[in-house]
Amino acid sequence: MSTIEITILDWFTGLFSLITVIIASIIGLIMILRYKKYKLKVLLLMGLAQIFIISPWWASSGSWILYVITGVPFNPTQYIFFTSWLVPFAGITMGWAISLLKAKEYQNVLIIIFSVIGVIAEVLLITFLIIDPSIHGYFISPFDVEFRGFLRYYLLFMILFIGTTGILIAIDSLKSSEPEIKLKGKFLIIAFISWTVGAIADAAVPTNFISLFIVRALLISSSIELYIGYIQPKWIKKVFIKE
């Protein structure tokens, strides 16, 4: 199997994807572990959602790791599979979170609805992938794919759904009279706006060194802002909450 030549931009695209995934996953795991301590289900859901919503970048980072080890990146089937297979779970966890916080009386019904939508999406994604991976998209570089058809519109829908759901959760916190909860709402709004803008820009803006840095910075900052919003380290409280 011959080694595929890549450009410096390709190299940094994969590397920055890996950095983004590592930071987001660590923060997601921290939130999950905090759930074990505080028994707040929203921490578990948002921690899982944090890991799931960054999953589309697993493909780029995983392909980069494989290239570094073997000299050959993912093939189209592998790349598109790792991009898409966890996205439905992001919708389920975010839907569960919003139902828990804003529509608890309809929680079971909403969870079933979000789960059914997720299962249907997963079946369609995998079916089209088996039939012909090019239905979902094509490579524009070894670590970047131009999505099309069902997958493109599904990913766009999920970006808007996750961003909107996250902002609604944040707005609910802003209504509180408690300074700590209000601070959480501010950071959550910044986090979900950063993530939504970064995710859309990653798909819509042609990749160059400037756009790559800005987009990955937005995605990484959204993870940090989500962490600050939910975990609120003591030094953050001292800086932003005036006694």
Taking 70 as the pLDDT cut, the residues of the chain under it are 1-3, 243
Which CATH architecture fits 8-240? Up-down Bundle (1.20)
3-state secondary structure of 175: coil
Question: Which three-class secondary structure string do you get for 223-236?
Answer: HHHHHHHHHCCHHH
According to DSSP, residue 2 is labeled: P
Note the pLDDT tens digit of each residue in 111-155: 898 899 989 999 999 999 999 999 999 998 889 999 999 999 999
pLDDT value for 2? 54
Long-range contacts (CB closer than 8 Å, 24 or more residues apart) made by 157-163: 158/87, 158/90, 158/91, 159/196, 159/199, 159/200, 160/196, 161/91, 161/94, 162/49, 162/53, 162/90, 162/91, 162/94, 162/192, 162/195, 162/196, 163/192, 163/193, 163/195, 163/196, 163/199
What is the structure's pLDDT at 3? 62
- What residues are paired with 145 via a beta bridge? 139
Residue ranges of domains in the chain: 8-240
